[in-house]
Amino acid sequence: MRTTPPAVLTCATIPRAWTFALVLAGPVGAQPVSRDPTTAQSVLHPAGTDAAAIANLFWIMTGAGALIWAAVIGTAIYAVLGRHKPQSERFADRFILAGGVIFPTVTLALLLVVGLRLLPNWRATDLPDLRVHVVGEQFWWRIRYETPDGGLVETANELHLPVGAEVEFVLTATDVIHSFWIPVLGGKLDMIPGRTTVLRLRPTATGVYRGACAEYCGLSHALMAMVVVVVPPDRFAEWLEAAARPARTPPPAAYLQAGCPACHVVRAADTPPEVAGVGPDLTHLAARSSLAADTLPLDHATLSGWIANPARYKPGARMPGFAHIDPREREAVVTWLMELQ
Ligand code: CUA
């Protein structure tokens, strides 16, 4: 079964304080969504079909392992402490055959079948409902949505998905190997420079979750996370539509003088869609809920501190510090960036 590709979105997530509470706001009306830190990236609280299958497998394996462990330990205790008369050699041979050969063979074969049933069951000709290209960078995520009209909308570090849709992630990396992992939605997959890997996930519950890089990729590997916002399809369509729009206000002179456009793109009405910077797209920066790949809260003071010295917060980040520019100019840049809803 497939549904029509969702249109897009309009809502923006705006962080008010560095808590896990996120507020979805925007032209479609405010609707608070909270991120529960105990379940936002828990493989045992699945919010997607793949994660649910993996969680089921985990419980089946754990239950079967516990039963077998109890049987083995129980038998050992009985053998050592139980009061019983010596058994015949024939009984001992049969016991070893049953418990040491037949039982493990049957049990492991059954568990193998249970595990193999979880292998992906789709062909390249099965079209997904939505395709999202994600590129691993040191240390952030470049995200490009394919739109229903064949275009691409670029954003970074915050993934919005429609609930119930089969989403195909086309994964690669530019520098080193990263690994794309949203524990509540499904398993992880490596992002390899020069290669493309494909992962399909289907979110089944709305909410705000957390994704993470699961492959050591450098100094700030542990600071390479991602906000994942799963919303109803109509809200996603509105969000995507808003994300595709150019920025509302042109950059101040200080932004150009500091050389920011050498790395970052803030789309204007006449920016060709294929243009991408080496750094994260900032067109709707202020609509995101966090800064530096879910490392920092996104607010005026934090953004200013980040621009002055990114390495203080994120060792190894490619962005140079701008502590040397006039504080008033930096203030002008930050004020403008925080208006980019
Ligand atoms: Cu990217 Cu670890």
Average the pLDDT over each of 44-58, 110-124, 162-176 and give the range with the smallest value.
Answer: 110-124
Which residues are registered as beta bridge partners of 210? 227
- Distance of CA 5 from the midpoint of ligand 1 (Å): 30
* pLDDT of 148: 86
Atom of ligand 1 nearest to the CA of 222: 2
Share of the chain above pLDDT 90, in %: 70
Nearest residue by C-alpha to atom 1 in ligand 1: 178
* pLDDT of 117: 84
How confident is the model over 85-97, as a mean pLDDT? 88
* pLDDT of 22: 35
- Distance of CA 136 from the midpoint of ligand 1 (Å): 7
Max avg pLDDT among 14-18, 38-42, 68-72: 68-72
For 8, the token pair is 């897009």
Distance from chain centroid for Cα 115: 24
- Distance of CA 171 from the midpoint of ligand 1 (Å): 13
Ligand 1 pocket, residue 215 CB under 6 Å:
yes
In sequence order, the 6+-apart residues with CB closer than 8 A to the CB of 271 are 246, 265
Distance from chain centroid for Cα 340: 23
With cut-offs at 50, 70 and 90, classify the pLDDT of residue 222.
very high
DSSP E strands, 240-305: 290-291, 296-297
**Residue 9 pLDDT > 70:** no
Ligand 1 pocket, residue 279 CB under 6 Å:
no
Classify burial at 119, counting beta carbons within 10 Å of its beta carbon; exposed 0-12, middle 13-18, buried 19 or more.
Answer: exposed
Average the pLDDT over each of 16-30, 125-139, 264-278 and give the range with the smallest value.
Answer: 16-30
* pLDDT of 34: 65
With cut-offs at 50, 70 and 90, classify the pLDDT of residue 12.
very low
Q: Mean pLDDT, the chain, as a whole number?
A: 87
Tell me the per-residue pLDDT of 286-334, one tens digit each, with 9 for 90 and over: 999 999 999 999 999 999 999 999 999 999 999 999 999 999 999 999 9
Atom of ligand 1 nearest to the CA of 191: 1
* pLDDT of 31: 38
Beta strand 178-181 with 140-146: parallel, antiparallel or unpaired? unpaired
Atom of ligand 1 nearest to the CA of 224: 1
Ligand 1 pocket, residue 216 CB under 6 Å:
yes
DSSP E strands, the chain: 12-14, 21-25, 31-34, 130-137, 140-146, 152-156, 158-162, 167-173, 178-181, 189-191, 197-201, 207-213, 225-231, 290-291, 296-297
Tell me the per-residue pLDDT of 49-61, one tens digit each, with 9 for 90 and over: 999 999 999 999 9
Ligand 1 pocket, residue 183 CB under 6 Å:
no
Max avg pLDDT among 25-29, 118-122, 148-152, 279-283: 279-283
* pLDDT of 5: 40
**Residue 158 pLDDT > 70:** yes
Atom of ligand 1 nearest to the CA of 216: 2
- Distance of CA 270 from the midpoint of ligand 1 (Å): 34
Supply the pTM of this predicted model: 0.83
**Residue 28 pLDDT > 90:** no
* pLDDT of 141: 97
Max avg pLDDT among 146-150, 193-197, 255-259: 193-197
For 34, the token pair is 């909270």
- Distance of CA 63 from the midpoint of ligand 1 (Å): 33
Report the alpha-carbon distance of residue 73 to residue 210 in Å, rounded.
40
